[in-house]
């Protein structure tokens, strides 16, 4: 079967798979079995998907489709999320609810945490890029996501972009444009943290366990993933730089221009909260005529039409202006793993203490370094 035919079949069944996944996730979040109607929807989607998945795997083995199908993988997350950028964004919201429900109602023992109880929750995603009128809640809301079936993966990075298209007279040699691509091989990195030792009875009896898990997942992991993204971007060679120019707002506008001159569409601005505060205060100042009429949407946090995300992982005084899809967040099919243990060190069991470990695997692909501008937002920095 040809690649084109397989792609057509995959596109046709993806809506059914998405619906089935929603049904399964809803039942899991509500800590119940699927209803008969939900089970029928789920089973029907899997039955439709199985022949396509089998053919994809067969084509991989025969190398008929080669590396192109690395980006297809096994469709979406009923059998494993597709290893392709789908426009979805990473999210840790609502994961804690599913985990805490499972801990207290069966997977880890009815209202009794097992000595080495573990839970795995599918990585959450939000829909397509931030819609007009909505504000980004963080850097991860603005980065497309690729899900990989293994920890080792590769992507193509564009290192050169020289467009030489021109009018050519008959019989003359056509100009050659240069689009340098480099294959980058890398691995997902484990991001994890442990809780301090907590009384086992607190966790068994206290309904606030959900709040605790939510704080671990949504705050700790999200901040660590954002920090990795910023670090990886800063360590990439070939990104552009913009010096401070008169004001933060002017500097950011010049950064957007650099992306446009290089042929990229601006996609996001990432700022430290203190820098975003400076932008808003400057724009909101009644005495500052300079910014009157500036294209800024406070409710949607968009400056010059480009969404702004704040992150404490950014360095104050340094902004990152990203082209659409120039930076991609990578993760795996395993999801977020949460494990509780009473034996993680020598005396926890004797003291009736239990600790939580939360972890996932993430990476950053800077596919277009020229689509990244690091801007200096203060004079003399």
Chain CA centroid to CA 171, Å: 49
Tell me the average pLDDT across 212-225.
78
> What sign results for the dihedral spanned by CA atoms 8, 9, 12, 17?
negative
Please tell me the distance from the alpha carbon of residue 255 to that of residue 125, in angstroms, as a whole number.
29
Q: How many CB atoms lie within 10 A of CB 228?
A: 17
pLDDT of residue 318: 96
* Mean of the per-residue pLDDT values of the chain: 76
Classified as helix, coil or strand, 60 is helix
- Model-level pTM? 0.65
Percent of the chain scoring above 90 in pLDDT: 25
Which two structure tokens, joined as six digits, stand for 348?
A: 């926890």
Confidence of residue 79 (pLDDT cuts 50, 70, 90): very low
Phi, psi dihedral angles at 371 (to 5 degrees)? -90, 15
Q: Which residues contact 93 (CB under 8 A, 6 or more apart)?
A: 124, 126, 218
Tell me the average pLDDT across 37-44.
80
Instruction: Tell me which DSSP letter residue 245 carries.
Output: B
Residue ranges of domains in the chain: 1-80, 85-381
């Amino acid at each position: 079967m040809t690649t084109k035919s397989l792609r057509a079949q995959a596109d046709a069944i993806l809506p059914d798979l998405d619906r089935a996944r929603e049904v399964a996730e809803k039942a899991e979040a509500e800590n119940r079995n699927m209803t008969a109607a939900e089970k029928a929807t789920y089973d029907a989607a899997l039955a439709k998907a199985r022949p396509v998945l089998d053919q994809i795997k067969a084509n991989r083995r025969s190398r008929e489709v080669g590396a192109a199908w690395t980006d297809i993988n096994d469709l979406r997350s009923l059998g494993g999320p597709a290893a392709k950028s789908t426009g979805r964004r990473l999210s840790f919201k609502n994961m804690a609810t599913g985990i805490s429900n499972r801990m207290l109602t069966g997977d880890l023992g009815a209202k009794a945490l097992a000595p080495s109880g573990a839970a795995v929750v599918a990585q959450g995603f939000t829909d397509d890029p931030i819609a007009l009128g909505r504000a980004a809640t963080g850097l991860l809301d603005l980065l497309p996501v690729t899900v990989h079936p293994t920890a080792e993966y590769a992507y193509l990075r564009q290192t050169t972009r020289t467009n030489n298209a021109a009018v050519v007279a008959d019989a003359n040699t056509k100009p050659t444009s240069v689009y340098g691509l480099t294959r980058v091989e890398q691995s997902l990195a484990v991001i994890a943290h442990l809780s301090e030792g907590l009384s086992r009875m607190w966790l068994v009896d206290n309904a606030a366990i959900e709040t605790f898990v939510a704080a671990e997942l949504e705050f700790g992991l999200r901040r660590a993933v954002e920090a990795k993204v910023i670090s990886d971007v800063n360590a990439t060679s070939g990104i552009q730089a913009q010096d401070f120019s008169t004001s933060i707002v002017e500097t950011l506008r010049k950064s957007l221009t650099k992306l446009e001159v290089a042929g990229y569409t601006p996609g996001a601005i990432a700022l430290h909260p203190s820098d975003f505060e400076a932008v808003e205060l400057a724009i909101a100042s009644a005495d500052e005529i300079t910014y009157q009429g500036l294209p800024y949407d406070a409710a949607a946090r968009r400056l010059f039409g480009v969404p702004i995300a704040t992150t404490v992982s950014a360095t104050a005084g340094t902004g990152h202006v990203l082209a659409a899809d120039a930076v991609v967040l990578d993760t795996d099919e395993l999801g977020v793993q949460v494990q509780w243990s009473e034996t993680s060190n020598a005396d926890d069991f004797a003291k009736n203490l239990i600790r939580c470990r939360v972890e996932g695997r993430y990476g950053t692909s800077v596919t277009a370094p020229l689509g990244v501008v690091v801007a200096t937002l203060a004079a003399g920095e």
